[in-house]
Structure 1
Amino acid sequence: GHSNIQGLTDLGLMSNLLTGYLTLPGEKEQEYDKYIAARASKPLRPNQLSYWQNYNKFYVSLMKAWWGDAATRENNWAYDYLPKLDKGYDMLQTFELMSQGKMNGFICQGFNPLAAAPNKAKMTGGLAKLKFLVIMDPLATETSEFWRNYGEHNDVDPSKIQTEVFRLPTSCFAEEDGALVNSGRWLQWHWKGAEPPGEARTDLEIMGELFTRLRALYKSGGGAFPDPIVNLYWPYAVAKSPSPEELAKEYSGRALKDVTDPKNPTQVIRKAGEQLAGFAELRDDGSTLSGCWLYCGAWGPNGNLMARRDNSDPTGIGQTLNWAYSWPANRRVMYNRASCDPSGKPFNPDRKLIAWNGTAWTGADVPDYKADEDPSLGMGPFIMNAEGVARFFGRGNLAEGPFPEHYEPFESPLARNPLSPGQEQTLSNPAARVFKDDRAAFGKVTEFPHVATTYRLTEHFHYWTKHVRLNAILQPEQFVEIGEGLAKELGIASGDRVKVSSNRGFIKAVAVVTKRLRTLPADGKPVHTVGIPIHWGFTGLAKPGFLANTLTPVVGDGNSQTPEFKSFLVKVEKV
């Protein structure tokens, strides 16, 4: 699996999340009991597990990891320390506030929003209104250089930008110990391969020193509500530089008091101070802590399971349970009970993940099910859902649900939604989030007759590898891909330079004419598509290029709020 955004969402770095997919309360959820009740879903059908009914155990253990002794039953486990959201504060909302001049400063850690976010002109304007910008990154990113003029690739006037930029060079992942999570949910420990160059420090060192200084200021100067800062649990041996091992043990979890067997309270299953073996040992009485319940057990009583490198596959079906650690519970296939028929027999005997042996569920994988549950009792395989079964449509979880619908992008070459004829309001998603000025920046098909999409290349990774010589050699120069139909219509040959414009800006690049981007018939009219790889910019070792997101519109998907990068209107011209 690829080390991707999995770790970001697991650890709650989306604006509405806590770790382990717990969620922050909304501003109407001022009462702790109601917050828990809304999330600790009870079974909707007889004898179903509905594992989210354990939400309180996950929440309390997280609060103990964050605030230690300051999180008590009397203060509802520090519930008042958490912000109560009036709305999401994701990337698009952040830059909307920034562009309105409502933000003083921005700490940008391991992120290049000028390159990654839509409508570069808006992003630049927002950054220029800040008093200060802090960049934590091993590379000289476009965001860190937004104020510098790079000719037509970044045509700004530095004398009119008063933002003070602080660049704090960090180590990269190969220069530190720690764990990465991939799309297979494996937590794989890695070891430092080299020392970071120059004055670069790890993110832990930078954040550790920043926090300890801020805490000292709050202790001496007070504030409107300093409690969440001054009471933060910070038990690390070197306060200014927590170690990766300390953090890993913390997010995995340990017992703060003796943990007993709920079926036999006289039997201690985990002594105070010991690492927990898994999330089944988490409690809601303040006796356990875990920084992420899904990761509980990754560093357990037997040590760092993320560091395991035994790739043996005794069953021959790809189940390498002794390689690293897969959340949850080292399970490799979630909902693996669904691989069996109602009686517990595998649908495919040659690929037996688990099976019922008459007394327990066993097999090549860790059962995602109650281990001793007789299948005749009817418990469904989808144990996180209150009904125990899978869902064909979103039950209260989609802004425009419950059934799926096709919507055209906000910039569409079509005047109507072909799948909903006669309903003008269904052209584009009515639940999408579009700010006023962003709507005004949409282009029209009469001016921008071609459809564009952005994508990645094999030879590059996002905006990083243009700083790497070998990658820059493999793909040195920015190009756009157009089909033979559009090339013939505009008189463009491979190797010609073209200008691609949207209502938000333009880029110039080499044209590559291919057969794969065919002219598509859509609602009775031909539509030409332009492919725009994202990897170029005005910093790095590759030839300077334009940021692809110069062209893209700011539209937040109705559910995920992911920007609408994948389809927008442009005009292609030969230059």
Structure 2
Amino acid sequence: GVIKGYFNWGMNPCHSAPNAGNVRRSMANLDWLVVADQVITESASFWKAPDMNPADIDTTVYYLPCALIYEKPGIILNSGRWIQYRYQACEPWDQAKPDYEMCDLIWTAICDLYKKEGGANPDPILNTKWDYYVDGKMDPRPVAWALNGYRVAGTDCNCDSKNPKTDLLTGYAELGADGSTACAMWIYSGMWNNNKAPLDPAEQPLCRRNTEDKSGIGLNSEWAFSWPSNRRILYNRNSCDMQGKPWNADKKLMEWTGEKWDLVDQADFVAAKDGKPVPPNNKTFFMLWEQNARLESYGMVDGPLPEHFEPFESPCDDNPLNGAFQNPCAFGVNYASTKQGTKEQYPIVGTTYSVTEHWQTGGQTRLCPSLVESMPSQFVEMSEELAAEKGIKNGDEVRVFNNRGSVVVPALVTKRFAPMTVNGKMQHQVGLTHHFGWADLYGTGDVVNDLTPNVGDPNSFTPEYKAFLVDIEKA
């Protein structure tokens, strides 16, 4: 009742979010919903869910067909801190558009409305920095310039292809505190810095494809760009002793020769100042303000030291490692929607995972008949012992349920799962895959994230998909 509208951009929370049924019920309180995706997902058709009654829902849903990842150019990142450029392989199908073009159309229309009709507070809208055009067309390359950083007094981001921006920064060291420079994300600075060819991705650091590895330990420093500053290993000064000599000469990242630093990886410390080499010192943690190691973490909600807590739903009676049973700082634990179950109600531990043939909520892979043929449905994996106890055979339809939801999936009885002994008691566990849903694709099935609790880590807000309580029975 507070949030009136929701832009659902490139995600499928009615399928992927924990306690997905609660998300669907929340969606029904919206006045309007905009879903931008490649296919009609569960979020785009939430009102069609088996547990929803369309007659009770007044939400207006708008669907914007979005270009697939290979139908548009752009930048991708991975968990190794690498930024790489990805070229467009083909044109978008039918009326689908890249997300940045859709953003531009929406923003332009909103600005036109403010200009014609006014508004309560138009300045933040009309004065938004939105100079991402080349030859009058929305283009991701000026966005890359903004992320990289540039000199404000130089050429404009809005440009024609014959006169592109030519005042890009070489790295974050050139950023000034006097308003002379601008940068949308300092850690990315240096990824797109070639002023001789600013419109050519192939000439930028993030598009390097040199497979030679001078480090001998797989740094591949000339392949793509690793933020920040193409530094492959953070705090790499600690690979040397106080005199700057590598602890392991065979895996050298850097070495003080007596006159200068011989660098294999980009220095994560002050190696030179005013063009002169800085001799070894103990300031080895460059990204921390004190530049020294920390015995205790701070800035963590549940710090300062890591500790083990039992999950929100646990089969245990206590936590032998800690006087507190569960993390007192975990988010969501007091929500009425979490509907916590007990081990007496639901004595089996559940977890979720993926299969090779399908990707995330299946929006792309469930459109591929060969992949659906290879993995036609999800399953609940269980031990032979649990199957025998419940009278379940391989392939039987099984109901898996708890306070949040109930799903019916085929059983996969396997030796891969075995009963565990926890605090001297036998404990069963089941595993569920999570790629299927009711959306009109080739592979359909129940949404198993109806079972997972909407609680999670207090620092990263990572949901607790991997441990919760359920019970099972033959359907």
Is the alpha carbon distance of 1:468 and 1:360 closer, same or farther for their aligned partners in structure 2, counting shifts above 3 Å?
A: farther
1:318 Cα deviation after fit: 2.1
In structure 1, distance between residues paired with 2:136 and 2:383: 55
In structure 2, distance between residues paired with 1:436 and 1:339: 45
Matched with 1:519 is 419
Q: Confirm whether residue 385 of structure 1 aligns to residue 291 of structure 2.
A: no
Which of the residues 455, 460, 478 maps onto 2:378? Answer: 478
Q: Confirm whether residue 145 of structure 1 aligns to residue 45 of structure 2.
A: yes
Question: Any conservation in 1 of the 2:261–2:271 contact (CA below 8 Å)?
Answer: yes
Which of the residues 540, 545, 553 maps onto 2:445? Answer: 545
Question: Any conservation in 1 of the 2:350–2:431 contact (CA below 8 Å)?
Answer: yes
Matched with 2:305 is 403
Is the alpha carbon distance of 1:485 and 1:376 closer, same or farther for their aligned partners in structure 2, counting shifts above 3 Å?
A: farther
SS in 1 for 2:373: helix
1:213 Cα deviation after fit: 1.5
1:487 Cα deviation after fit: 1.9
Q: Confirm whether residue 184 of structure 1 aligns to residue 80 of structure 2.
A: yes
SS in 1 for 2:147: helix
1:437 Cα deviation after fit: 4.6
User: 1:90-169 alignment to 2 at 5 Å?
Assistant: 101-149=1-49, 154-169=50-65
Matched with 2:151 is 255
Which residue identity is paired with 2:89?
G
Question: Any conservation in 1 of the 2:5–2:32 contact (CA below 8 Å)?
Answer: yes
User: 1:149-548 alignment to 2 at 5 Å?
Assistant: 149=49, 154-237=50-133, 241-257=137-153, 274-301=167-194, 303-372=203-272, 378-395=281-298, 397-420=299-322, 423=323, 426-434=324-332, 436-438=334-336, 441-464=339-362, 465-539=365-439, 541-548=441-448
SS in 1 for 2:437: coil
Which residue identity is paired with 2:342?
K
1:429 Cα deviation after fit: 1.1
In structure 2, distance between residues paired with 1:443 and 1:455: 21
In structure 2, distance between residues paired with 1:481 and 1:113: 24
In structure 2, distance between residues paired with 1:197 and 1:175: 8
Question: Any conservation in 2 of the 1:116–1:549 contact (CA below 8 Å)?
Answer: yes
1:449 Cα deviation after fit: 1.0
1:378 Cα deviation after fit: 2.6
Which residue identity is paired with 1:206?
M
SS in 2 for 1:143: coil
1:230 Cα deviation after fit: 1.4
User: 1:77-88 alignment to 2 at 5 Å?
Assistant: none
Is the alpha carbon distance of 1:158 and 1:241 closer, same or farther for their aligned partners in structure 2, counting shifts above 3 Å?
A: farther
Which residue identity is paired with 1:305?
P
1:523 Cα deviation after fit: 2.3
1:238 Cα deviation after fit: 5.9
1:412 Cα deviation after fit: 1.4
In structure 2, distance between residues paired with 1:236 and 1:124: 35
Identical aligned residues as a percent: 41
Is the alpha carbon distance of 1:437 and 1:314 closer, same or farther for their aligned partners in structure 2, counting shifts above 3 Å?
A: closer
Higher helix share: 1
Matched with 1:54 is none
In structure 1, distance between residues paired with 2:236 and 2:280: 18
- Post-superposition CA distance 1:335-375 (Å, at most 9, x none): 21121122111112111121112233223221112123778
Comparing 502-511 and 249-258, the one that deviates more: 249-258
Question: Any conservation in 1 of the 2:148–2:193 contact (CA below 8 Å)?
Answer: yes
Question: Any conservation in 2 of the 1:311–1:323 contact (CA below 8 Å)?
Answer: yes
Is the alpha carbon distance of 1:179 and 1:234 closer, same or farther for their aligned partners in structure 2, counting shifts above 3 Å?
A: same
1:570 Cα deviation after fit: 0.3
Q: Spell out structure 1 runs of 4+ moving beyond 4 A.
A: 238-241, 373-377
1:279 Cα deviation after fit: 0.3
SS in 2 for 1:300: coil
Count of aligned positions: 453
In structure 1, distance between residues paired with 2:194 and 2:288: 30
Question: Any conservation in 1 of the 2:330–2:458 contact (CA below 8 Å)?
Answer: yes
Note the residue ranges of structure 2 that are not aligned, 5 or more in a row.
Answer: 155-164, 196-202
In structure 2, distance between residues paired with 1:310 and 1:377: 31
Matched with 1:261 is none
1:392 Cα deviation after fit: 4.0
Which residue identity is paired with 1:297?
G
In structure 2, distance between residues paired with 1:109 and 1:239: 27
SS in 1 for 2:76: strand
Comparing 530-539 and 199-208, the one that deviates more: 530-539
Question: Any conservation in 1 of the 2:338–2:404 contact (CA below 8 Å)?
Answer: no
Comparing 538-547 and 454-463, the one that deviates more: 538-547
Task: Provide TM-score, normalisation by structure 1.
Answer: 0.75
1:402 Cα deviation after fit: 1.4
1:418 Cα deviation after fit: 2.2
Question: Any conservation in 1 of the 2:315–2:349 contact (CA below 8 Å)?
Answer: yes
Task: Provide TM-score, normalisation by structure 2.
Answer: 0.90
